[in-house]
Chains A and B, each alone.
Chain A
Amino acid sequence: MAELTPLSGGLGASPGKLIAVDRGKTVTIADLRQRVLCWLEIMRDRQGTRWAVYHSDAFEFLAILLALWQLKRTACVPGDNCRGTTDRLKKHVDGFIGEFPTTALQANEKSVQVSSSGQWVTPDTNYAALEIYTSGSTGEPKPIQKSIAQLEHEVRALEALWPSQAGTVVLATVTHQHLYGMTFRLFWPFSSGQLFERALCEYAEDILQQAKLYLSFSLVSSPSHLGRLNEALSWEPLSGRCSYLISSAAPLKRADSQKACSLFAAPVREIYGSSETGAIAWRSQQESDQDALWQALPSVFLKPNEDGTLCVRSPYMGELERFSLPDRVAFDENGRFKLLGRVDRIAKVEGKRVSLAALEQRISENDLVENVRALTLQRQRVETGVVIQLTAEGWLELKRSGRKILVKRLKENLAAHFEAVVLPRRWRFVEQFPYNQQGKLPLGDLQKMFEKEAVSWPEVIDERVVDDQVKVRCVVPGNLIYFDGHFEGNPILPGIVQVHWAEYFGRHLLPVKGTFVRLEVIKFQQVVPPNTTMEITLQYDESRQKLIFKYESEKGVHSSGRICFG
């Protein structure tokens, strides 16, 4: 186990000690002290104890925090720096530092004379050094305060379970503006002698490029990234360099965990926690053939509450003796547990926590909106959708400007208050909410409004008339409902559907009249798999009321026959 340097004593280490990397270049304690002094210089003369901090560079961010802590001030750290967040913070802080769309303190680039290390005070470890924010169920962001002692405690628990190797580089795809990133990207590496990379890796290609620079690295990431790794990239150069991957913010699918494990040739450690509690449990899914259970981190005690939610006790929750997380859990006899979903209206969209109540509240501030319900939808990704009952004025506006303009207007109002990822991607306008007889609004009924229309027709490429024949070129869509269960694992287009389509096109493109009587000389010669491009040839014998059809593709004739009408 690496010997831990407490966060409070970090600046006192020997000046040559490496603490970070900047795309291959090393950064030392001396560099950090330099920046802390620059920040201190501009902070000292300013009044006020509470300062909002946002900086995209992890190294500068750490320097700002350490400078504030030298002065026993509180770093108020929002998850994003969008306009709405900034405006809301104004009431709660004395000023802004770093990157904000408002006046904010900036440090000089010039170097400050660094005298002996004696100029550093050891910060008080028990005051509220850090304030972070999380979505409360009422919609208003909830502040959570942490002392340095709490942060140090959490790092000790992590180090006890997974001892660090000094010198390993910590890469990340998650921001340090959230507690998860702050702890795993900055505080833990800084305390344990690992080196954090200043810049974020935004794409898998970034990770590959950066990781190649280091003999040993680890990656702090989330299901959003680990679930979207591209196997086609060349991962071999990383072989033997990655010590472990960390994933948090939401549970990682087992298949994604195993894929990430094989691409990086390293274990994937999943972390479960919250802003209120910090990291509290972990799991690893590489060796299991079913979803692995979670277990408590060292020094953390977990048990179910009577209502099925999770009760947490840990030495790093400050004055809180216990805390209940609104996640329903099921424990096994060994004290490991499964997560069964949340009990409140906070949703996780791609790992980002969002209060559905807050979304609804913001949307309903608009005069065009009478009533609104927000919900999460599991489609190709998890996203939010809203069902809106418009006011009379809203309906007028919908008629006047159209759906797109209306959605755009409503969305613009939200963009200032929420991160883009959680903004609703699907909007439904209804005359009336589908209340049931008990006066409730069942979630399932709302979800149904967002289901894709069932695909039951071919995609027509073109229709041509050749002599007395009609030729319809089309593709048989892979998501056609008729492939469902016909047959499991080996989908083919049912013959009766081919007859049905032939009749449909016959009635639309040829003078077919009368009702269906019978089929004649029907032949199904070859099966039609999904995504086949077909040509349907139709000919109508008007005097005998017979529609002759033939399905062909580049493989030859698939089916043919006659439909008799009368």
Chain B
Amino acid sequence: MSNLKTELKQMIIEILDLEDIEVDEIVDSEPLFVEGLGLDSIDALEIGLALNKNYGIKLKSDSEETRQHFASINALAALVESHRAE
């Protein structure tokens, strides 16, 4: 699980071309959007794309649910884990 979290952090930094942030500075439980990492709606689209490419995850057509999955690294990791278990 902790490897997965590191992997997700690396993925986010890389695909979003983020500056001034290292993997170990992203806090697992901190919000990714608005406060915390301060990501925006375009970043959400990119993360959605990358989740599908890297982990085969398809987002459900429920924006509220997606918002919860994208809330933090912890939530993203849980999403990937539960997808693997299926």
Tell me, yes or no, whether B68 is within 8 Å of chain A by CB: no
Instruction: Tell whether, in the assembled complex, residue A403 and residue B20 are in contact, meaning their CB atoms are under 8 Å apart.
Output: yes
A317–B46 Cα distance when bound, in Å, is 37
Q: Determine the chain B residues whose CB is within 8 A of the CB of A498 once the complex forms.
A: none
Q: Determine the chain A residues whose CB is within 8 A of the CB of B40 once the complex forms.
A: 419-421, 423
A239–B59 Cα distance when bound, in Å, is 21
**Nearest Cβ distance between residue B70 and chain A, in whole angstroms?**
10
Please tell me the number of chain A residues within 8 Å of chain B, measured between CB atoms: 32
Instruction: Tell whether, in the assembled complex, residue B17 and residue A380 are in contact, meaning their CB atoms are under 8 Å apart.
Output: yes
Contact A210 B61, CB 8 Å, known A232-B52, A407-B20, A420-B34 = yes
Instruction: List which B56-74 residues lie within 8 A (CB) of chain A.
Output: 58-61, 63, 66
Instruction: Tell whether, in the assembled complex, residue B45 and residue A225 are in contact, meaning their CB atoms are under 8 Å apart.
Output: yes
Tell me, yes or no, whether B86 is within 8 Å of chain A by CB: no
Instruction: Tell whether, in the assembled complex, residue A411 and residue B49 are in contact, meaning their CB atoms are under 8 Å apart.
Output: no
**Nearest Cβ distance between residue B14 and chain A, in whole angstroms?**
10
Instruction: Tell whether, in the assembled complex, residue B20 and residue A206 are in contact, meaning their CB atoms are under 8 Å apart.
Output: no
| Nearest B-chain residue to A213, judged by Cβ | B61
Contact A203 B59, CB 8 Å, known A411-B38, A420-B40 = yes
Q: Determine the chain A residues whose CB is within 8 A of the CB of B39 once the complex forms.
A: 420
Q: Determine the chain A residues whose CB is within 8 A of the CB of B46 once the complex forms.
A: 228
A1–B40 Cα distance when bound, in Å, is 40
Tell me, yes or no, whether B84 is within 8 Å of chain A by CB: no
| Nearest B-chain residue to A381, judged by Cβ | B42
Instruction: Tell whether, in the assembled complex, residue A205 and residue B53 are in contact, meaning their CB atoms are under 8 Å apart.
Output: no
A204–B48 Cα distance when bound, in Å, is 9
Instruction: List which B23-58 residues lie within 8 A (CB) of chain A.
Output: 33-34, 38-42, 44-46, 48-49, 52-53, 58
Q: Determine the chain B residues whose CB is within 8 A of the CB of A411 once the complex forms.
A: 38
Contact A205 B48, CB 8 Å, known A420-B38, A420-B40 = yes
Please tell me the number of chain B residues within 8 Å of chain A, measured between CB atoms: 26
Instruction: Tell whether, in the assembled complex, residue A205 and residue B58 are in contact, meaning their CB atoms are under 8 Å apart.
Output: yes
Instruction: Tell whether, in the assembled complex, residue A205 and residue B41 are in contact, meaning their CB atoms are under 8 Å apart.
Output: no
Contact A206 B61, CB 8 Å, known A380-B17, A420-B38, A421-B40 = yes
**Nearest Cβ distance between residue A209 and chain B, in whole angstroms?**
3
A200–B52 Cα distance when bound, in Å, is 21
Contact A420 B48, CB 8 Å, known A210-B61, A426-B19 = no
Tell me, yes or no, whether A508 is within 8 Å of chain B by CB: no
Q: Digitize A420-444: 1 where CB-to-B-CB distance is under 8 Å, 0 elsewhere.
A: 1101011100000000000000000
A208–B59 Cα distance when bound, in Å, is 11
Instruction: Tell whether, in the assembled complex, residue A203 and residue B66 are in contact, meaning their CB atoms are under 8 Å apart.
Output: yes
Tell me, yes or no, whether A25 is within 8 Å of chain B by CB: no
| Nearest B-chain residue to A208, judged by Cβ | B61
Tell me, yes or no, whether A409 is within 8 Å of chain B by CB: no
A50–B40 Cα distance when bound, in Å, is 31
Q: Digitize A191-233: 1 where CB-to-B-CB distance is under 8 Å, 0 elsewhere.
A: 0000000011011111011100000000000001100101011
**Cross-interface CB contact of B59 among A205, A379, A407, A421, cutoff 8 Å:** A205
Q: Determine the chain A residues whose CB is within 8 A of the CB of B59 once the complex forms.
A: 203, 205-206
Contact A423 B38, CB 8 Å, known A228-B46, A380-B17, A404-B20 = yes
A224–B59 Cα distance when bound, in Å, is 18
Instruction: Tell whether, in the assembled complex, residue A205 and residue B60 are in contact, meaning their CB atoms are under 8 Å apart.
Output: yes
Instruction: Tell whether, in the assembled complex, residue B17 and residue A379 are in contact, meaning their CB atoms are under 8 Å apart.
Output: yes
Instruction: Tell whether, in the assembled complex, residue B52 and residue A202 are in contact, meaning their CB atoms are under 8 Å apart.
Output: no
Q: Determine the chain A residues whose CB is within 8 A of the CB of B15 once the complex forms.
A: 380
| Nearest A-chain residue to B53, judged by Cβ | A232
Contact A230 B61, CB 8 Å, known A381-B42, A403-B20, A404-B20 = no
Instruction: Tell whether, in the assembled complex, residue A421 and residue B52 are in contact, meaning their CB atoms are under 8 Å apart.
Output: no
**Nearest Cβ distance between residue A385 and chain B, in whole angstroms?**
9
Tell me, yes or no, whether A350 is within 8 Å of chain B by CB: yes
Instruction: Tell whether, in the assembled complex, residue B44 and residue A202 are in contact, meaning their CB atoms are under 8 Å apart.
Output: yes
Q: Determine the chain B residues whose CB is within 8 A of the CB of A202 once the complex forms.
A: 41, 44, 63, 66
**Nearest Cβ distance between residue B68 and chain A, in whole angstroms?**
13
Q: Determine the chain A residues whose CB is within 8 A of the CB of B61 once the complex forms.
A: 205-206, 208-210
Q: Determine the chain B residues whose CB is within 8 A of the CB of A425 once the complex forms.
A: 18-19
Q: Determine the chain B residues whose CB is within 8 A of the CB of A426 once the complex forms.
A: 19
Q: Determine the chain A residues whose CB is within 8 A of the CB of B45 once the complex forms.
A: 203, 224-225, 228
A230–B41 Cα distance when bound, in Å, is 16
**Nearest Cβ distance between residue B35 and chain A, in whole angstroms?**
9
| Nearest B-chain residue to A383, judged by Cβ | B17
Q: Determine the chain B residues whose CB is within 8 A of the CB of A210 once the complex forms.
A: 61
**Nearest Cβ distance between residue A177 and chain B, in whole angstroms?**
13
A206–B61 Cα distance when bound, in Å, is 5
Q: Determine the chain B residues whose CB is within 8 A of the CB of A225 once the complex forms.
A: 45
**Nearest Cβ distance between residue B69 and chain A, in whole angstroms?**
11
Instruction: Tell whether, in the assembled complex, residue B19 and residue A420 are in contact, meaning their CB atoms are under 8 Å apart.
Output: no
Q: Digitize A113-126: 1 where CB-to-B-CB distance is under 8 Å, 0 elsewhere.
A: 00000000000000
A415–B34 Cα distance when bound, in Å, is 9
23 pairs of residues in contact across A and B, judged by CB atoms under 8 Å: A202-B63, A202-B66, A203-B59, A205-B59, A205-B61, A206-B59, A206-B63, A208-B61, A209-B60, A209-B61, A230-B49, A230-B52, A232-B52, A233-B52, A379-B17, A380-B15, A404-B20, A415-B34, A420-B40, A420-B41, A421-B42, A423-B40, A425-B18
Besides A381-B17, A420-B40, A421-B41, 6 more A-B contacts (Cβ < 8 Å) are A200-B63, A224-B45, A232-B52, A403-B20, A420-B39, A427-B20
What is B's interface to A at a CB cutoff of 8 Å?
15-20, 33-34, 38-42, 44-46, 48-49, 52-53, 58-61, 63, 66
- Which 5 A-B pairs rank lowest in CB-CB distance, beginning with the nearest? A209-B61, A420-B40, A205-B59, A380-B17, A421-B40
